[in-house]
Amino acid sequence: MAKKKIFFVLAIIIILFTSLLIEKDTINKILYPRRYSEYVEIYSKEFGLDENLVYSVIKVESKFRKDAVSHKGAKGLMQISDITREWAKEEMNLGDIDIFDPKTNIKIGCWYLNKLYKEFGRLDLVIAAYNGGSGNVNKWLSDYSYSKDGKSLDLIPFEETSMYVKKVTKNYKMYNKLYSKEG
């Protein structure tokens, strides 16, 4: 009789624990959504990016709000600056565009991330440049105060950019954890 009670209690504990794990995963997928997947899939592939990085940038930049505008005037899901928009229009022959259109915004954001990857080759530097500008990252890399080897940053002097790199990296790890099994 005592063995049956112990078995029953253990079974209940295992069921509760399993349901909590399943519930936690479900909650996390709500907190880390993959909205606009049709565009993220197309343009991350076109520009050689990991989809989860693109989702992480969108989540940190705009929280998936297509009409977001930053205090510096960056716009849309991936917070494209006017300078980057004009550069992308010229390089990709886009003509008139609506920067708030998710398809256009994600395309330009992925194009820009690809440019930064070609320039820097390291995820942390790409993320820092996306927020703080490639000119600043290049300055920091050439300054021994911020980079001992000229290839990686020991310190990011802009607090906003430093926090941005941490946030995107944290989100990227979570997206990889939640969605790496899916294909």
**The two three-digit tokens of residue 172, written as one number:** 């990227």
Whole-structure pTM value: 0.86
Question: What does the mean pLDDT of the chain come to?
Answer: 93
Boundaries of every domain in the chain = 1-31, 37-179
Output Rg (C-alpha) for the chain, integer angstroms.
21
At 38-77, the pLDDT tens digits run 999 999 999 999 999 999 999 999 999 999 999 999 999 9
Angle at 63 between CA 51 and CA 105, to 5 degrees: 60
Q: How far apart are CA 153 and CA 159, in angstroms?
A: 14
Pick the CATH number of 37-179 from 3.40.50.800, 3.40.50.720, 1.10.530.10, 3.40.50.300: 1.10.530.10
- Are the beta carbons of 78 and 108 closer than 8 angstroms? yes
- Which residue carries 């917070």 as its tokens? 79
- Are the beta carbons of 59 and 171 closer than 8 angstroms? yes
pLDDT at 105 over 80: yes
The pLDDT of residue 1:
65
The pLDDT of residue 183:
46
- Are the beta carbons of 56 and 36 closer than 8 angstroms? no
**Catalytic choice (61, 119, 159, 182):** 61
Distance from first CA to last CA of the chain, Å, rounded? Answer: 47
| 119 in catalytic set | no
